[in-house]
Structure 1
Protein backbone atom coordinates (compact mmCIF):
# COMPACT_ATOMS: atom_id res chain seq x y z
CA UNK A 1 0.00 0.00 0.00
CA UNK A 2 2.90 2.37 0.76
CA UNK A 3 4.32 1.76 -2.71
CA UNK A 4 0.91 2.40 -4.27
CA UNK A 5 0.49 5.71 -2.47
CA UNK A 6 4.02 6.81 -3.31
CA UNK A 7 3.58 6.03 -6.98
CA UNK A 8 0.22 7.82 -7.00
CA UNK A 9 1.84 10.86 -5.42
CA UNK A 10 4.64 10.74 -7.99
CA UNK A 11 2.27 10.50 -10.96
CA UNK A 12 0.24 13.43 -9.65
CA UNK A 13 3.36 15.52 -9.07
CA UNK A 14 4.79 14.75 -12.51
CA UNK A 15 1.47 15.67 -14.12
CA UNK A 16 1.36 18.97 -12.26
CA UNK A 17 4.96 20.08 -12.79
CA UNK A 18 5.27 18.94 -16.40
CA UNK A 19 1.84 19.74 -17.82
CA UNK A 20 0.14 22.38 -15.64
CA UNK A 21 2.52 25.32 -15.60
CA UNK A 22 0.20 27.78 -17.37
CA UNK A 23 -2.19 29.64 -15.06
CA UNK A 24 -4.77 29.60 -17.86
CA UNK A 25 -4.44 25.83 -18.12
CA UNK A 26 -4.85 25.57 -14.35
CA UNK A 27 -8.02 27.67 -14.50
CA UNK A 28 -9.38 25.48 -17.29
CA UNK A 29 -8.57 22.41 -15.19
CA UNK A 30 -10.52 23.90 -12.30
CA UNK A 31 -13.54 24.37 -14.57
CA UNK A 32 -13.01 20.85 -15.87
CA UNK A 33 -12.82 19.47 -12.32
CA UNK A 34 -16.09 21.16 -11.34
CA UNK A 35 -17.82 19.73 -14.41
CA UNK A 36 -16.42 16.25 -13.82
CA UNK A 37 -17.60 16.33 -10.20
CA UNK A 38 -21.09 17.23 -11.40
CA UNK A 39 -20.88 14.35 -13.87
CA UNK A 40 -19.93 11.99 -11.04
CA UNK A 41 -23.18 12.91 -9.31
CA UNK A 42 -25.31 12.59 -12.46
CA UNK A 43 -23.83 9.34 -13.77
CA UNK A 44 -25.87 7.16 -11.40
CA UNK A 45 -29.24 8.37 -12.71
CA UNK A 46 -28.43 10.10 -16.01
CA UNK A 47 -25.32 8.42 -17.43
CA UNK A 48 -25.86 9.86 -20.91
CA UNK A 49 -26.08 13.42 -19.55
CA UNK A 50 -23.04 12.87 -17.33
CA UNK A 51 -21.04 11.73 -20.37
CA UNK A 52 -22.18 14.71 -22.47
CA UNK A 53 -21.01 17.10 -19.75
CA UNK A 54 -17.78 15.20 -19.14
CA UNK A 55 -16.78 15.06 -22.79
CA UNK A 56 -18.46 18.20 -24.12
CA UNK A 57 -17.26 20.59 -21.42
CA UNK A 58 -14.82 18.99 -18.98
CA UNK A 59 -12.63 17.21 -21.51
CA UNK A 60 -12.73 20.02 -24.09
CA UNK A 61 -11.63 22.67 -21.58
CA UNK A 62 -9.06 20.31 -20.08
CA UNK A 63 -7.44 19.40 -23.37
CA UNK A 64 -7.64 22.96 -24.72
CA UNK A 65 -5.45 23.96 -21.80
CA UNK A 66 -2.86 21.37 -22.74
CA UNK A 67 -2.89 21.96 -26.48
CA UNK A 68 -3.06 25.77 -26.60
CA UNK A 69 -1.69 27.19 -23.37
CA UNK A 70 1.11 24.91 -22.20
CA UNK A 71 4.60 25.69 -23.58
CA UNK A 72 5.90 23.17 -26.09
CA UNK A 73 9.53 24.29 -26.05
CA UNK A 74 12.29 23.46 -23.62
CA UNK A 75 11.05 23.27 -20.03
CA UNK A 76 13.59 25.33 -18.08
CA UNK A 77 11.74 24.78 -14.80
CA UNK A 78 12.18 21.00 -14.95
CA UNK A 79 15.17 20.99 -17.35
CA UNK A 80 13.40 18.69 -19.82
CA UNK A 81 12.54 18.85 -23.50
CA UNK A 82 8.94 18.59 -24.63
CA UNK A 83 9.84 15.39 -26.48
CA UNK A 84 11.24 13.85 -23.30
CA UNK A 85 8.10 14.71 -21.33
CA UNK A 86 5.91 13.20 -24.03
CA UNK A 87 8.00 10.03 -24.10
CA UNK A 88 7.84 9.40 -20.36
CA UNK A 89 4.15 10.37 -20.00
CA UNK A 90 2.40 7.49 -18.22
CA UNK A 91 -1.08 8.18 -19.52
CA UNK A 92 -2.26 9.84 -22.70
CA UNK A 93 0.40 12.13 -24.15
CA UNK A 94 -0.55 14.73 -26.77
CA UNK A 95 -0.24 12.28 -29.67
CA UNK A 96 -2.50 9.72 -28.00
CA UNK A 97 -4.89 12.50 -27.00
CA UNK A 98 -5.24 13.57 -30.63
CA UNK A 99 -6.38 10.04 -31.50
CA UNK A 100 -8.76 9.88 -28.53
CA UNK A 101 -10.26 13.31 -29.19
CA UNK A 102 -10.55 12.43 -32.87
CA UNK A 103 -12.68 9.40 -31.98
CA UNK A 104 -14.77 11.61 -29.73
CA UNK A 105 -15.28 14.25 -32.42
CA UNK A 106 -16.21 11.84 -35.19
CA UNK A 107 -18.66 9.74 -33.16
CA UNK A 108 -21.64 12.18 -33.53
CA UNK A 109 -21.19 12.10 -37.31
CA UNK A 110 -21.07 8.30 -37.35
CA UNK A 111 -24.17 8.12 -35.14
CA UNK A 112 -26.03 10.52 -37.43
CA UNK A 113 -25.13 8.48 -40.53
CA UNK A 114 -25.74 5.12 -38.82
CA UNK A 115 -28.56 5.77 -36.28
CA UNK A 116 -28.24 2.30 -34.72
CA UNK A 117 -24.46 2.79 -34.46
CA UNK A 118 -23.78 -0.51 -36.23
CA UNK A 119 -26.45 -2.32 -34.24
CA UNK A 120 -25.37 -1.07 -30.81
CA UNK A 121 -28.77 0.52 -30.23
CA UNK A 122 -31.86 -1.62 -30.73
CA UNK A 123 -33.91 1.57 -31.05
CA UNK A 124 -32.17 4.15 -33.30
CA UNK A 125 -32.70 7.78 -32.40
CA UNK A 126 -35.84 9.47 -33.72
CA UNK A 127 -35.66 12.82 -31.91
CA UNK A 128 -32.95 15.26 -30.85
CA UNK A 129 -33.24 14.03 -27.27
CA UNK A 130 -32.78 10.36 -28.17
CA UNK A 131 -29.86 11.34 -30.42
CA UNK A 132 -28.09 12.98 -27.49
CA UNK A 133 -29.02 10.14 -25.15
CA UNK A 134 -27.43 7.64 -27.53
CA UNK A 135 -24.45 9.91 -28.14
CA UNK A 136 -23.92 10.25 -24.41
CA UNK A 137 -23.87 6.47 -24.01
CA UNK A 138 -21.33 6.21 -26.85
CA UNK A 139 -19.13 8.81 -25.17
CA UNK A 140 -19.49 7.02 -21.84
CA UNK A 141 -18.33 3.80 -23.48
CA UNK A 142 -15.45 5.65 -25.15
CA UNK A 143 -14.32 7.08 -21.81
CA UNK A 144 -14.46 3.76 -19.98
CA UNK A 145 -12.84 2.01 -22.93
CA UNK A 146 -9.99 4.53 -23.06
CA UNK A 147 -9.30 4.04 -19.35
CA UNK A 148 -9.36 0.25 -19.55
CA UNK A 149 -7.30 0.18 -22.76
CA UNK A 150 -4.48 2.31 -21.38
CA UNK A 151 -4.54 0.54 -18.02
CA UNK A 152 -4.14 -2.89 -19.64
CA UNK A 153 -1.49 -1.47 -21.97
CA UNK A 154 0.44 -0.25 -18.92
CA UNK A 155 0.19 -3.74 -17.43
CA UNK A 156 2.38 -4.96 -20.29
CA UNK A 157 4.72 -2.03 -20.98
CA UNK A 158 5.22 -1.15 -17.28
CA UNK A 159 3.59 -3.33 -14.62
CA UNK A 160 0.17 -4.02 -13.10
CA UNK A 161 0.60 -1.58 -10.22
CA UNK A 162 1.46 1.31 -12.55
CA UNK A 163 -1.71 0.68 -14.55
CA UNK A 164 -3.91 0.56 -11.46
CA UNK A 165 -2.24 3.65 -10.00
CA UNK A 166 -2.79 5.55 -13.25
CA UNK A 167 -6.51 4.68 -13.38
CA UNK A 168 -6.85 5.71 -9.73
CA UNK A 169 -5.15 9.01 -10.52
CA UNK A 170 -7.42 9.72 -13.49
CA UNK A 171 -10.61 8.94 -11.56
CA UNK A 172 -9.55 11.10 -8.61
CA UNK A 173 -8.06 13.93 -10.71
CA UNK A 174 -11.22 16.11 -10.43
CA UNK A 175 -10.92 16.13 -6.64
CA UNK A 176 -7.17 16.83 -6.79
CA UNK A 177 -7.49 19.52 -9.48
CA UNK A 178 -10.35 21.23 -7.63
CA UNK A 179 -8.14 21.58 -4.56
CA UNK A 180 -4.95 22.50 -6.44
CA UNK A 181 -6.36 25.02 -8.91
CA UNK A 182 -9.31 26.64 -7.14
CA UNK A 183 -7.41 29.95 -6.98
CA UNK A 184 -6.36 29.87 -10.64
CA UNK A 185 -9.48 31.61 -12.07
CA UNK A 186 -8.91 34.54 -9.71
CA UNK A 187 -5.25 34.70 -10.68
CA UNK A 188 -6.25 34.74 -14.34
CA UNK A 189 -8.66 37.59 -13.71
CA UNK A 190 -5.97 39.59 -11.90
CA UNK A 191 -3.52 38.98 -14.73
CA UNK A 192 -6.10 40.08 -17.31
CA UNK A 193 -6.81 43.32 -15.41
CA UNK A 194 -3.08 44.03 -15.05
CA UNK A 195 -2.49 43.33 -18.75
CA UNK A 196 -5.38 45.47 -20.02
CA UNK A 197 -3.95 48.62 -21.63
CA UNK A 198 -4.81 51.84 -19.84
CA UNK A 199 -7.07 54.28 -21.64
CA UNK A 200 -6.47 57.95 -22.12
Structure 2
Protein backbone atom coordinates (compact mmCIF):
# COMPACT_ATOMS: atom_id res chain seq x y z
CA UNK A 1 0.00 0.00 0.00
CA UNK A 2 2.77 2.58 0.74
CA UNK A 3 4.29 1.93 -2.70
CA UNK A 4 0.87 2.26 -4.33
CA UNK A 5 0.28 5.62 -2.63
CA UNK A 6 3.77 6.74 -3.69
CA UNK A 7 2.72 6.12 -7.29
CA UNK A 8 -0.48 8.13 -6.78
CA UNK A 9 1.54 11.00 -5.28
CA UNK A 10 4.01 10.88 -8.18
CA UNK A 11 1.18 11.09 -10.72
CA UNK A 12 -0.39 13.99 -8.82
CA UNK A 13 2.91 15.86 -8.62
CA UNK A 14 3.65 15.45 -12.33
CA UNK A 15 0.13 16.55 -13.21
CA UNK A 16 0.35 19.62 -11.00
CA UNK A 17 3.82 20.85 -11.92
CA UNK A 18 3.64 20.12 -15.64
CA UNK A 19 0.00 20.89 -16.49
CA UNK A 20 -1.33 23.34 -13.89
CA UNK A 21 0.99 26.32 -13.91
CA UNK A 22 -1.66 28.84 -15.00
CA UNK A 23 -3.66 30.37 -12.16
CA UNK A 24 -6.64 30.61 -14.51
CA UNK A 25 -6.36 26.90 -15.24
CA UNK A 26 -6.09 26.18 -11.51
CA UNK A 27 -9.18 28.28 -10.80
CA UNK A 28 -11.12 26.48 -13.53
CA UNK A 29 -10.00 23.18 -12.00
CA UNK A 30 -11.40 24.36 -8.67
CA UNK A 31 -14.78 25.00 -10.31
CA UNK A 32 -14.50 21.65 -12.06
CA UNK A 33 -13.71 19.85 -8.81
CA UNK A 34 -16.76 21.26 -7.03
CA UNK A 35 -19.01 20.31 -9.95
CA UNK A 36 -17.59 16.77 -10.01
CA UNK A 37 -18.30 16.34 -6.31
CA UNK A 38 -21.88 17.41 -7.02
CA UNK A 39 -21.98 14.90 -9.89
CA UNK A 40 -20.68 12.19 -7.55
CA UNK A 41 -23.56 12.88 -5.19
CA UNK A 42 -26.07 12.81 -8.06
CA UNK A 43 -24.91 9.35 -9.13
CA UNK A 44 -27.01 7.85 -6.35
CA UNK A 45 -30.24 9.67 -7.25
CA UNK A 46 -30.03 10.97 -10.83
CA UNK A 47 -27.26 9.37 -12.94
CA UNK A 48 -28.32 11.15 -16.13
CA UNK A 49 -27.99 14.58 -14.54
CA UNK A 50 -24.68 13.47 -13.03
CA UNK A 51 -23.45 12.75 -16.56
CA UNK A 52 -24.61 16.14 -17.80
CA UNK A 53 -23.05 18.04 -14.90
CA UNK A 54 -19.82 16.04 -15.10
CA UNK A 55 -19.31 16.73 -18.78
CA UNK A 56 -20.95 20.12 -19.38
CA UNK A 57 -19.52 21.78 -16.26
CA UNK A 58 -16.75 19.57 -14.88
CA UNK A 59 -15.06 18.57 -18.12
CA UNK A 60 -15.69 21.81 -20.04
CA UNK A 61 -14.10 23.98 -17.33
CA UNK A 62 -11.27 21.52 -16.77
CA UNK A 63 -10.31 21.02 -20.41
CA UNK A 64 -10.81 24.65 -21.43
CA UNK A 65 -8.23 25.55 -18.78
CA UNK A 66 -5.73 23.22 -20.41
CA UNK A 67 -6.57 24.16 -23.99
CA UNK A 68 -6.77 27.95 -23.70
CA UNK A 69 -4.69 28.97 -20.68
CA UNK A 70 -1.95 26.45 -19.98
CA UNK A 71 1.40 27.29 -21.69
CA UNK A 72 2.57 24.75 -24.27
CA UNK A 73 6.05 25.97 -25.03
CA UNK A 74 9.30 25.03 -23.33
CA UNK A 75 8.81 24.69 -19.56
CA UNK A 76 11.47 27.01 -18.14
CA UNK A 77 10.49 26.24 -14.55
CA UNK A 78 11.38 22.57 -14.90
CA UNK A 79 13.57 22.91 -18.00
CA UNK A 80 11.68 20.34 -20.07
CA UNK A 81 10.02 20.53 -23.47
CA UNK A 82 6.29 20.33 -24.01
CA UNK A 83 6.88 17.23 -26.14
CA UNK A 84 8.64 15.56 -23.21
CA UNK A 85 5.71 16.30 -20.90
CA UNK A 86 3.24 14.89 -23.41
CA UNK A 87 5.33 11.75 -23.85
CA UNK A 88 5.36 10.90 -20.14
CA UNK A 89 1.74 11.90 -19.48
CA UNK A 90 0.17 8.93 -17.71
CA UNK A 91 -3.42 9.85 -18.45
CA UNK A 92 -4.97 11.61 -21.40
CA UNK A 93 -2.47 13.84 -23.19
CA UNK A 94 -3.76 16.39 -25.69
CA UNK A 95 -3.92 13.88 -28.54
CA UNK A 96 -5.92 11.37 -26.51
CA UNK A 97 -8.11 14.16 -25.17
CA UNK A 98 -8.95 15.32 -28.69
CA UNK A 99 -10.23 11.82 -29.52
CA UNK A 100 -12.25 11.66 -26.31
CA UNK A 101 -13.74 15.11 -26.90
CA UNK A 102 -14.66 14.17 -30.47
CA UNK A 103 -16.55 11.10 -29.21
CA UNK A 104 -18.24 13.21 -26.52
CA UNK A 105 -19.46 15.77 -29.04
CA UNK A 106 -20.65 13.08 -31.46
CA UNK A 107 -22.97 11.40 -28.96
CA UNK A 108 -25.75 14.06 -29.04
CA UNK A 109 -25.53 14.10 -32.84
CA UNK A 110 -25.93 10.32 -33.01
CA UNK A 111 -28.90 10.49 -30.63
CA UNK A 112 -30.50 13.12 -32.84
CA UNK A 113 -30.09 10.96 -35.94
CA UNK A 114 -30.84 7.66 -34.22
CA UNK A 115 -32.87 8.31 -31.04
CA UNK A 116 -33.11 4.57 -30.46
CA UNK A 117 -29.31 4.25 -30.58
CA UNK A 118 -29.57 1.55 -33.23
CA UNK A 119 -32.19 -0.36 -31.30
CA UNK A 120 -30.40 -0.34 -27.95
CA UNK A 121 -32.74 2.06 -26.12
CA UNK A 122 -36.27 3.43 -26.24
CA UNK A 123 -36.26 6.57 -28.41
CA UNK A 124 -36.75 9.85 -26.55
CA UNK A 125 -40.11 11.54 -27.10
CA UNK A 126 -39.14 15.07 -25.99
CA UNK A 127 -36.16 17.21 -25.05
CA UNK A 128 -36.16 15.95 -21.46
CA UNK A 129 -35.86 12.40 -22.75
CA UNK A 130 -33.10 13.42 -25.16
CA UNK A 131 -31.19 15.13 -22.32
CA UNK A 132 -31.62 12.03 -20.15
CA UNK A 133 -30.29 9.72 -22.86
CA UNK A 134 -27.38 12.05 -23.54
CA UNK A 135 -26.48 12.23 -19.86
CA UNK A 136 -26.53 8.44 -19.51
CA UNK A 137 -24.43 8.02 -22.66
CA UNK A 138 -21.90 10.59 -21.43
CA UNK A 139 -21.77 8.81 -18.08
CA UNK A 140 -20.94 5.54 -19.83
CA UNK A 141 -18.34 7.36 -21.95
CA UNK A 142 -16.63 8.65 -18.82
CA UNK A 143 -16.59 5.18 -17.25
CA UNK A 144 -15.33 3.63 -20.49
CA UNK A 145 -12.59 6.26 -20.84
CA UNK A 146 -11.44 5.59 -17.29
CA UNK A 147 -11.51 1.81 -17.71
CA UNK A 148 -9.77 1.74 -21.11
CA UNK A 149 -6.90 4.00 -20.06
CA UNK A 150 -6.50 2.04 -16.81
CA UNK A 151 -6.15 -1.20 -18.77
CA UNK A 152 -3.86 0.42 -21.36
CA UNK A 153 -1.62 1.93 -18.70
CA UNK A 154 -1.56 -1.40 -16.86
CA UNK A 155 -0.26 -3.07 -20.00
CA UNK A 156 2.34 -0.35 -20.59
CA UNK A 157 3.65 0.18 -17.06
CA UNK A 158 2.09 -2.57 -14.96
CA UNK A 159 -1.23 -2.97 -13.10
CA UNK A 160 -0.08 -0.97 -10.07
CA UNK A 161 0.45 2.12 -12.24
CA UNK A 162 -2.87 1.61 -14.01
CA UNK A 163 -4.84 1.42 -10.79
CA UNK A 164 -2.80 4.23 -9.23
CA UNK A 165 -3.83 6.46 -12.14
CA UNK A 166 -7.49 5.45 -11.77
CA UNK A 167 -7.33 6.23 -8.06
CA UNK A 168 -5.71 9.58 -8.81
CA UNK A 169 -8.41 10.51 -11.35
CA UNK A 170 -11.32 9.52 -9.11
CA UNK A 171 -9.93 11.47 -6.16
CA UNK A 172 -8.82 14.48 -8.21
CA UNK A 173 -11.85 16.60 -7.19
CA UNK A 174 -10.91 16.31 -3.50
CA UNK A 175 -7.22 16.88 -4.19
CA UNK A 176 -7.85 19.81 -6.57
CA UNK A 177 -9.95 21.64 -3.98
CA UNK A 178 -7.21 21.18 -1.39
CA UNK A 179 -4.52 22.29 -3.83
CA UNK A 180 -6.20 25.15 -5.71
CA UNK A 181 -8.63 26.81 -3.30
CA UNK A 182 -6.25 29.80 -3.01
CA UNK A 183 -5.78 30.15 -6.78
CA UNK A 184 -8.69 32.61 -7.32
CA UNK A 185 -7.16 34.85 -4.63
CA UNK A 186 -3.75 34.72 -6.31
CA UNK A 187 -5.41 35.46 -9.65
CA UNK A 188 -7.21 38.51 -8.23
CA UNK A 189 -3.84 39.75 -7.02
CA UNK A 190 -2.58 39.64 -10.60
CA UNK A 191 -0.54 36.43 -10.39
CA UNK A 192 -1.17 34.70 -13.71
CA UNK A 193 1.22 31.80 -13.12
CA UNK A 194 2.05 29.68 -10.12
CA UNK A 195 5.78 30.07 -9.30
CA UNK A 196 5.76 26.36 -8.37
CA UNK A 197 7.85 26.98 -5.27
CA UNK A 198 6.56 23.68 -3.86
CA UNK A 199 8.05 21.71 -6.78
CA UNK A 200 11.65 20.75 -7.32
CA UNK A 201 12.81 21.53 -10.88
CA UNK A 202 13.86 18.58 -13.02
CA UNK A 203 17.30 18.04 -14.39
CA UNK A 204 17.79 19.13 -17.96
CA UNK A 205 16.23 16.91 -20.67
Aligned to 1:156: 155
Shift of 1:176: 0.2
Alignment of 1:20-35 (within 5 A): 20-35=20-35
Aligned to 1:40: 40
Aligned to 1:198: none
Q: CA RMSD in A?
A: 1.0
Greater share of helix: 1
Query: What is the TM-score of this pair, normalised by structure 1?
Result: 0.93
CA distance, structure 2, for counterparts of residue 187 and residue 8 of structure 1: 27
Query: What is the TM-score of this pair, normalised by structure 2?
Result: 0.91
CA distance, structure 2, for counterparts of residue 27 and residue 83 of structure 1: 25
Q: Residue 11 in 1 paired to residue 11 in 2?
A: yes
| Runs of 4+ with deviation above 4 angstroms | none
Shift of 1:191: 2.1
Alignment size in residue pairs:
191
Aligned to 1:146: 145
Larger relative contact order (CA 8 Å, sep ≥ 6): 2
SS at match of 1:191: coil
Alignment of 1:62-81 (within 5 A): 62-81=62-81
CA distance, structure 1, for counterparts of residue 176 and residue 36 of structure 2: 10
SS at match of 2:189: helix
